Structure 1
């Protein structure tokens, strides 16, 4: 009976998606320029089911014909509903989000970006390009003209002046979130397959108290892969942390406490936190979603400016120049989705 119910649910989901496609505008894409991101994730399996090809959600109906990309042999389907994707619901007003569930056949790169992945395999180039496509669409939503988005000295994306943002990608899912720096000090997002972590990874990424909490949550809320959710939350925290500090944050240097009822989490730092507008932060807060289809986990962190602060000051790592601290020697780059 359970298999029959699952089959009926899947058929209903497909029919609903097809009906949605009939109600949106299909926009032909032209070439005007050239899109990528940073080095490879160290290989924690990322296996999301590919959804409707070329579909971007949450782009406010933006006409992307003048964006720097090209869909070869097909068009992109742009939906205008804000907040239709799981990520949109996790972020506050003022943050623009675009999500892509399958890649166009071809996306051109700006020369500066193409040079970053000149020696990369095709899969990596497609990930880089697709997430940049999302980023450009999100930038247009906040009124910013997009251009090349290249990695900085430590791999983090260099956003246009006055913008904060984050990107994530895994198989079948790419997304970007951006906002004006005057509204938020930093943003971090991450998506992971909703499946248990590979053997041994939890012990390398979770503190003893976190593992104890995960064991309890696995009993009270068994439908959620809490080890994967915790891993994703730490990724989002790191992506929000790094632009504010220029410092590495090890998995063991923050304690994640998920709330299974409110779908939120806290991240308490065990090392000195970032200083934002003169105030040192010891905690980030975030939100999470484990989709009803159980295919992926998405987490998001926004760092607001402290009350009364002017905000807007460009405190990004790229502006720290020669004074920027370096990650500890010997640590490999495990952070994904830059």
Structure 2
């Protein structure tokens, strides 16, 4: 297969553009690798892009504003959306006439209490840039995401399960609870591009002071029943790395893990590709890599660390090669 390559990792990527974070700049490119625009600032965080992929939304860590970056007009607008202290990076979604922001902020005005972290929803009118803030009922940690035009959110609550002593982790479709499980820490929920599968990844209780286990529960997203489970060794200092790959009507999970029990001083990592349909690992490599497929563009994106840091772009034709042929490219120099 033919490809183009750059000696960098992508920070974020979409069907029409990709973003690269350099030491002091944020760069946006098209897939002919032409630079569209560049923003010079060190401490910005990516939030989202507009539906037409002409606007990039950024913020600065723990600040009360967003940056609206028109990458083709080469303009930047700053919008302050709250006066509260921010707990973490907000979740932002682009709508036709408005921008929706969900964030966790500090309320210092609660009677009888020094402070309280609460969840808020902000609606920003695109034309006037006026903000409307709403306090949400839930008090626990909430994370929002979108899939197929719907907005979902998860809540990690500190309500203990008497049987397992784990924390409750609940998924909501809009405001309706549709799935609940009990996890230990670092939970993350993802839905496959087709919407056929989903998984929730989390850490399991420590085996001893040096090592612990990671777990990925695979769900049939139509029934929300667990159909498979992956367990592996994982160091608690790192965040779980796992994502879906769907290609040619087959679904895979790519995840990083230690291949055997290890201590904190062992830095050996492997990356695995697990076939959901076949319920087995079909590929592994003793280094970190990421592989994604953009079905609308018939494009594979391979990011890898060895034998050098590199991102490769494979533009496929009408005939799709078998997955085994694609996997050969991972170790190829």
Flag the structure with higher helix content.
1
Do the structures match in fold with TM over 0.5?
Answer: no
Q: TM-score, normalised by structure 1?
A: 0.28
Greater C-alpha radius of gyration: 2
Flag the structure with higher strand content.
2
Higher relative contact order (CA 8 A, sep 6+): 1
